[in-house]
Structure 1
């Protein structure tokens, strides 16, 4: 998981797309499929965290903007 820590959201999404493509199109062994699936789950969790952090930041900025107007 640490290897993807410094990657952007877009890079993580591209990796996820590649994993899905591999699982859909390539003949992958069960063991390789499980490793790809695990990596996909990890990337998904990282992307969800990035999105949640961004959402919280937007909400904070919106609240601050409303407070500044009053």
Structure 2
């Protein structure tokens, strides 16, 4: 899977889905399974970071909105 630094959250999730499907196949070698698993862990970490940043932005916007109402 080619690595792009500017991939969207959705693209990363699609890659994760592809990895899960491949790992569910019985014909995947041990070496390929390990590589796919490692890539999956990396993608999961990246997605988690994106979600946490989005959550922080939402919290910041909510606080700002509440302050503006006062």
Shorter-chain TM-score category?
over 0.9
- For structure 2, the 5+ residue unaligned runs are none
Q: Which residue of 1 aligns with 2:38?
A: 38
Report the CA distance between 1:4 and its aligned residue: 3.4
Q: Which has the higher helix share?
A: 1
Q: Spell out, residue by residue over 1:9-60, the C-alpha distance to the aligned partner (whole angstroms, 9 max, x if none).
A: 0000000000000000251110110000000000000000000000000000
How many residues matched?
A: 68
Runs of 4+ more than 6 Å apart: none
Q: Which residue of 1 aligns with 2:19?
A: 19
Normalised by the length of structure 1, the TM-score is 0.93
- For structure 1, the 5+ residue unaligned runs are none
Q: CA RMSD for the aligned pairs?
A: 0.9
**Partner Cα distance (1:20, 1:26) in 2:** 12
